[in-house]
Structure 1
């Protein structure tokens, strides 16, 4: 670096999943030749659960810690740090917030927009991981893998699972309904087709031509619930999809249906689930996400039959972390070179409204 070269200041705010070094290494690879001053911050997630911070959700660390780490940084590459309205107002040098997540839920996007700061995100970062995990939950529920393992370790040999009334169900020939057909849902459908499943999809934004080419059938939500022996959720949480599944439409499921949610807890109302399991309307429930994370000790589903639970692990692969860092660094590099950004949550700032 020559004495006349001014380094561009970047904050790499990672955690124990996407480590700051992943951001830093990816940015150096994406922006060779650029003089960079990369500062780092590590927030405590997932060692400590994320939660609301200020006016943002699913964040880790404090506003004060983030402001200290930011300093005069022009670009922030971030995973969980809380970019609240207060932080944005107190970061006059900041010109880009590049978030390494499928949606910038830890950023006050409205405040960033008012400040003229683009906020980018990383669509599809965990699509393969989440799709594989959903298939794993389906197989685990249909074939009683977790409960069989737990019982055998206690010395109980469940030979009665071979009895016809207790036997598992194959994905081959089974109708599986997918609620949501974005990056994750479409991969799940492809895998299910390979298993030989009949795949129904409910997604108002799905392209019918693409669905037909993929060999899936688009349906309304109620029809999907009536016809599907397995239902798996893959939608985003919006005002329209919050509690999309509830007591009334869950009652449409065939007797003994399996319900899988590895997307977002807010997509369904958890209150009716214990009774649906006890009545047999639900044959099994497989969850990676919850209405409260982590679930409290007195959570009713802890004692309900045929429930599989995992601690929000669907996206937890090394490839997801590396892919997210690379996509985020690509956006940071494009900003630093003055090139168009690709995945912008607030495109209205691109132009006259962008912070100079």
Structure 2
């Protein structure tokens, strides 16, 4: 069986190949390697799929005779599936196969799997760091000191930040990441509210968090953190109207998806103090343009889509996808099938 390890500079082809060799008999296994440019070059849309890296031509060439491909960002479009009818499975090493045209895959009879929860720990830990950085103005203090200035005014009452201990923190979305964030926040002594229509309320209360409606969460929370999955339903979930319902001076954190948040009203909300601070790891346009209004807005912490980027995440993603390839090769049921209309197991 020929497998293409279409890695990048985070989940490398070497990591994928090593994970595959843990799952498959090397006899009769041919692993090809392709290195895509992400994250050295930002990913983007490619012919109907999003967050993809590399070109269709590059992928089509590398897929020659491949039955399976393991990837994080390769653009699996209708054109790619049409050009490589021998392909039977794509294992995507991320939480969702946004770089795969699932309709085209199903039409071609290609099973598509993914790796849910691969970066949950990394994203949750990063979220807590972003909360603390925004509340305590750590990046501002660091920049001032590096520039040779002693920012003593940051210790003045009007400029001083708050504490997580005793704070009310609202989490919009209570999936794998949200649950870990909640657990850590409770260890800090925070009260945690959650808004998630798909979460069982009794189970959430057993976790020590309080399920509420979204509007109530916005009114009560001193810190609001986004953890929902981006869908047509959740796009711009926090728009200008909902942002206006937040407590004056609240902190807003988004490490989940740029599309969940309407970025247009944020600069004015910060300048008026309606928002006390903003921490962003994801954006509506990546990377943000040089004239992006939030570059000059006060009390903003920004990072370049780093929340899930740990070495442990890369190893975990490679292992989860390789395990799915092992199940495929043995004709077993796939655990994380994105297009169940395709017959599971080996088609060889």
TM range (shorter): over 0.9
Question: How far is 1:130 from its partner?
Answer: 0.3
Unaligned 5+ segments in structure 2 are: none
- Aligned ranges for residues 161-240 of structure 1 at < 5 Å? 161-240=154-233
For residues 350 and 236 of structure 1, what CA distance do their matches in structure 2 show?
Answer: 27
Q: Does the CA-based 8 Å contact 1:121-1:344 persist in structure 2?
A: yes
Instruction: Identify the residue that residue 127 of structure 1 maps to in structure 2.
Output: 120
How many residues align structurally?
348
SS at match of 1:169: coil
1:310 and 2:303 aligned: yes
Asked if structure 1 preserves the Cα contact closer than 8 Å seen for 2:111 and 2:344, the reply is no
1:273 lines up with 2:266 in the alignment = yes
Query: 1:25: how far off?
Result: 0.5
Structure 1 contact 102–123 (Cα < 8 Å) conserved: yes
Q: Deviations over 1:254-289 (max 9, x none)?
A: 111000001100001000000100110100000000
| TM, length-normalised to structure 1 | 0.96
Corresponding residue number in structure 2 for 1:84 = 77
Normalised by the size of structure 2, how large is the TM-score?
0.98
Instruction: Indicate conservation of the 8 Å contact 1:256/1:282, yes or no.
Output: yes
- Give ranges in structure 1 of 5+ residues lacking alignment: 1-7
**Offset, 1:155:** 2.0
What RMSD over aligned residues (CA atoms) do the two structures have, in Å?
1.3
How far apart, in 2, do the equivalents of 1:190 and 1:112 lie? 38
Measured in 1, the distance between the counterparts of 2:340 and 2:42 equals: 31
Secondary structure in 1 matching 2:341: helix
Deviation at 1:115, TM superposition (A): 1.4
Match of 1:16, SS?
A: coil
The answer as to 2:64 corresponding to 1:71 is yes
Closer/same/farther in 2, CA of residues 28 and 351 from structure 1, 3 Å limit: closer
**Distance in 1 between residues matched to 2:50 and 2:26, nearest whole Å:** 36
Choose which of 11, 22, 47 in structure 2 pairs with 1:18.
11
Contact 1:256 1:281 in 2 (8 A): yes
Deviation at 1:33, TM superposition (A): 5.6
1:287 matched to 2:280: yes
Q: Secondary structure at the match of 1:140?
A: helix
State the alpha-carbon separation in 2 of the partners of residues 30 and 37 from structure 1: 14
Mapped partners of 1:48, 1:327: distance in 2: 25
